[in-house]
Amino acid sequence: MKPQAEPAVESFLAMLAAQRGAAANTLAAYRRDLAAAGEQIGCLERASRADIEGLGAAWVELAPSSVARKASALRQFYGFLVDEGVREDDPSSALPRPRIRRPLPRLLGHEEVAALFRTAEADAAAGTPEGLRILALLELLYGSGLRATELVSLPIAAVPRDAPFLTITGKGSVQRMVPISARAAHALADWLVARGKGGRFVFPSPRGGHLSRVRLFQLLRDLALRAGLDPEKVSPHVLRHAFATHLLEGGADLRVLQTLLGHADIATTQIYTHVDAARLVTLVNQRHPLARS
C-alpha cells in the first residue's frame, strides 16, 4: 500500500484536479516529486528556507530538466499554501533555477508534406479502406494539428454533420473546437463510408477499441517510406509541428495558433516563432509606423 501523502499535499493535488483539470498522469507526477522532496527534508508544509536550499544540493546529479520539473512542483505547492493562508512565507525562492534550452521541433518542408499527400491520395484513389483511412489520418494531423492521442481516440460523436469543426478533448480533459478543412471533411466522409457502421471511434481497431498510437506511427512511417522520405523524420507530432509552422508562415496570429493547438500556456506556442523570423522582420519593416517615416 502506498503511504498517504501529508494533508497539505493532498489538498494541493485536489486543487489541481478540480480547478485546473489536471489529468491522472499529471497528478501522479506531482505526487511523486513532492513525496521524494518530503523524504529528503521531512514535512513539506513546515519546511524552512534552509531545508529547501538543501534540495538543490541533493539534486546536483540530476539533469536540468528533472531539476526544473521538481522545482516547479514545489513552487506551485508553496504558492498554493500561501494562497490558502497555511503559510505566510514562500520558501521556494531558494530552489535552483536551471537554464534549459528547449529543443526545436523537427520540421517537414512544404515539398515533403506534398510528397506524403501525393502518396496518400494515390492510395485513396484505389478505393481500399486502408487507402481512405491513411488519407483521412494525414488530413487531420496536418490539416487540423491534432495530437496523436486526440486523433486515434476521436469518437464518432465528435464529427458534426453540418459544421466545419471537430470537438476535441485534449490534455486535462479540456475541450476545444478545431476547424476541419473542406478537403479533410471530404476525406473523412469517404473514410466513414468505407469504415462501415459499429463502434464508437472514427478509427476503430480490428480488436475492438480504437487504433493505437503505435499503429498510427507505423502507418505514417510506411507512408513516408513509400513517398521517398526518411521514415525517421515523420511522426504524428512532426505533422502537428508542420501544421503550426506553416500556419504561422501564412500569417496566423500566435494566440489563434495557441487555441488551435490546445496549448494552456502561450509560452509553449512561442517555440514556433523561430521558424519564421525573416517574415517577422519584414512585417516590422513594412508595418511599423517608424518604417514609413
Give the whole-angstrom CA distance, residue 135 versus residue 293.
Answer: 50
Fill in the DSSP letter of residue 232.
G
Give the whole-angstrom CA distance, residue 64 versus residue 157.
Answer: 42
Q: How far is C-alpha 5 from the geometric centre of its chain's CA atoms?
A: 29
What b-and-e string marks burial along 3-20, b requiring 16 or more CB atoms within 10 Å of the CB?
eebbebbebbbebbeeee
Q: Which amino acid belongs to residue 103?
A: P
| DSSP symbols for 50-103 | HHHHHHHHHTTTS-HHHHHHHHHHHHHHHHHHHHTTS-S--GGGGS------PP
Catalytic center residues: 147, 171, 237, 240, 263, 272
Report CA torsion sign: 222, 146, 151, 184: negative
Distinct helix (H) and strand (E) counts, the chain:
13, 2
Residue for grid cell 471511434: 201
